[in-house]
Amino acid sequence: MRRRMPTKGISQIWLDPQPQGLRAVYLVEARDQEEALEVEDLFAELETDLQVRQLCRGKLFSYAVKTQHDQQQTLLELEQALRSNFGFVILHRSFDDVIYKIVSELCVDTGSDLLPMTHCDICGKLEPFPDTVINLADRGGATIASGAYCGVCTAAFAATSNKEFLLSLLHADTRDFSALESAELVRARSRKQDIRFRIQSRAEHAAANN
Ligand SMILES: [Zn+2]
């Protein structure tokens, strides 16, 4: 049975556009505490330019990164920096099940901690960088729930309008958002790049249709 999501209090829903970019996974072995700190510092610095998700830590450190645009050069520089500073470095130029399995197995072998990972809320695939993110928030903008969807699911639910797209993703979500299906969504103005809708109250809806 699908988990029924509390939808009370939700007054706005928006689609957060995610930039297209290159993905890569890095695995680095830290031989001592000093190297461990160096790796963590290096990836912390990168977060200003790239999206970074840490996959594990311990003796083995692994990160998935996604560039904002076509930052091929940034990835090459990162690879060089890692190879010249650390003895054991693996680079994989995408994020997929194969590399994640390698990371998990090496975590077991080295006694490192595999960190919790986000997944697509429709198909369940591990997804550090979802293609589409939907936020559901209260009047003040505080997030009540959110949905993250992989590229395959995003493409499968492509629709003629943004509203239809958003509702079809929520409908396919493994959690139950059906309470929202009868809501009246009206396009709201937004200062940011997102596509935002406001949930119209029944009274407003009645007034608008009179
Ligand atoms: Zn999916």
Mean of pLDDT values over 28-57: 94
| Alpha-carbon distance values, 210 to 79, 86, 186, 197 (Å) | 63, 70, 16, 21
- CA 87 to ligand 1 center in whole angstroms: 36
Contact 110, 29 (CB under 8 A): yes
In this prediction, residue 166 carries a pLDDT of 93
- Provide the pLDDT confidence category of residue 175 given band limits of 50, 70 and 90: very high
> What's the pTM value of the predicted model, to 2 decimals?
0.84
**What is the percentage of the chain residues whose pLDDT exceeds 70?**
100
Residue 176 has pLDDT above 90, yes or no: yes
Q: Please tell me the distance from the alpha carbon of residue 159 to that of residue 137, in angstroms, as a whole number.
A: 23
Which segment, 1-10, 12-21, 97-106, is predicted with the most confidence on average? 97-106
* Of 73, 88, 87, nearest in space to 24 by CA: 73
- CA 80 to ligand 1 center in whole angstroms: 33
| Torsions phi, psi for 162 (to 5 deg) | -60, -35
Mean of pLDDT values over 84-107: 94
- CA 172 to ligand 1 center in whole angstroms: 10
- CA 14 to ligand 1 center in whole angstroms: 19
Residue 74 has pLDDT above 90, yes or no: no
Architecture of domain 23-114: 2-Layer Sandwich (3.30)
- CA 132 to ligand 1 center in whole angstroms: 10
Question: Between vectors from CA 100 to CA 92 and to CA 115, what angle results, nearest 5°?
Answer: 120
For 87, other C-beta atoms within 10 Å of its C-beta total 10
Looking only at the bridges linking them, the beta strands covering 60-66 and 23-29 are antiparallel
* Of 71, 66, 59, nearest in space to 107 by CA: 59
- CA 117 to ligand 1 center in whole angstroms: 14
For 26, other C-beta atoms within 10 Å of its C-beta total 24
Q: Please tell me the distance from the alpha carbon of residue 162 to that of residue 34, in angstroms, as a whole number.
A: 49
**Where do the structural domains in the chain lie, given as residue ranges?**
12-18+121-208, 23-114
Provide the token pair at 195: 């596509």
